[in-house]
Amino acid sequence: MEIIRCRAAIVWKPGGSFSIEEVEVAPPKAKEVRIKMVATALCGTEMKMLKDKNLQHQHYPIIMGHEGAGIVESVGEGVSTVKAGDKVIALFLPQCGECTSCLNSADNLCIKFKQGETHLMSDGTSRFTCKGKPVYHFGNTSTFSEYTVMNEISVAKIDAAAPLEKVFLVSCGFSTGYGGAINTAKVTPGSTCAVFGLGGVGLSVIMGCKAAGATRIIAVDTNKDKFEKAKEVGATECINPQDYGKPIQEVLFDLTGDGVDFSFEVIGNPETVAAALASCRESHGVCVIIGLIVGVQLNISGHLFFSGRSLKGSVYGGWKGRDGASKLVSDYMAKKINLDALITHTLNLDKINEAVELMKTGKCIRCALLL
């Protein structure tokens, strides 16, 4: 196997924008897979990393991207679950199938997930070089490159007929939100839900609440432009906190009588987490944090927990990486779930900085980046 030269979007320094460069992608080593990416997208994680100093690290230059789908180009020694030509989903959350988490049916945080924090492959080296310099990996995936190398355990084989330009959403955004409602919160039929934040993940939470049988789904966002899409995917009503002269938790108690059964924070704002928890029913309300919160402390009154409320975290919607991705793609092919509504724009990878600006406007839910 030979080195492949291709284009990738590189961030050279903290706070920098994306730069389209020619990179060299080395062949896969043992238990690794080289993939020709077909579709990817900016997720909220990348958007935060581009502006939030708490999330910026010293691993630069770097090829970001953790939501994507492609076709296996070649495999390293010992790879047995995929072969060249297979369609696959890239996974930031691996599934080794051997650790205590993978062997626990109620757990999905594979121990190999931490490998992604090194921004290198398992052997401590990178498969990318640009202008003679090594380039760091990102999130076990690095999907903003025409070719990438990933560990076999971070790759999910999917239906050969699946349209990659749609199902790439299963790689992160859709699965995280939809599963957050179904698996983590375990939304019940007839319940009332509140969803704070109406980006791609928030809308996926709404879909999950609807699929679980919730009868009232209240969508909360300061951007009214997102309300139409929220109702399209299942919200029964939409409210803007800025329209009221009191805290949003009081508004939700007024609307519901005694709070919501399930609330979801899908923004990553510590203050919103406190409000979402306080919006829950006192006796048994469940609040799930889905938005990325790193490097800050939550300031929540202990009194909120006294009567029985609970606060939960969720990663990848509680799905086991490889099993969950394959199942959700099959569900899409069987028309059990709708991914199409979440893709509002499509651009080529070399327009990635335009995609960043689109995401900032709030008028773009997901911009598919085609490679």
The residues assigned a catalytic role are 43, 46-48, 66, 96, 99, 102, 110, 172
Cβ pair 139, 91 in contact under 8 A: no
Count of other CB atoms within 10 angstroms of residue 321: 30
* CA–CA gap between residue 198 and residue 223 (Å, rounded): 9
Buried b / exposed e along 173-188 (16+ C-beta atoms within 10 A): bbbbbbbbbbbbbebe
Distance CA 205, CA 251 (A): 21
Amino acid at 137: H
Beta strands 192-196; 147-151: pairing state? unpaired
What DSSP string runs through 53-64?
A: TTT--S--SB--
Beta-bridged to residue 149, according to DSSP, are 34
Alpha-carbon distance of 235 to 27, in angstroms, equals 47
Contacting residues for 329 by C-beta, under 8 A, at least 6 apart: 89, 156, 158, 159, 162, 167, 170
Cis peptide before 14 (omega within 30 of 0): no
> Residue 340 in contact with residue 313, Cβ under 8 Å?
no
Q: Alpha-carbon distance 339 to 357, whole Å? A: 22
3-state SS assignment for residue 147 = strand
Angle at 341 between CA 335 and CA 347, to 5 degrees: 120
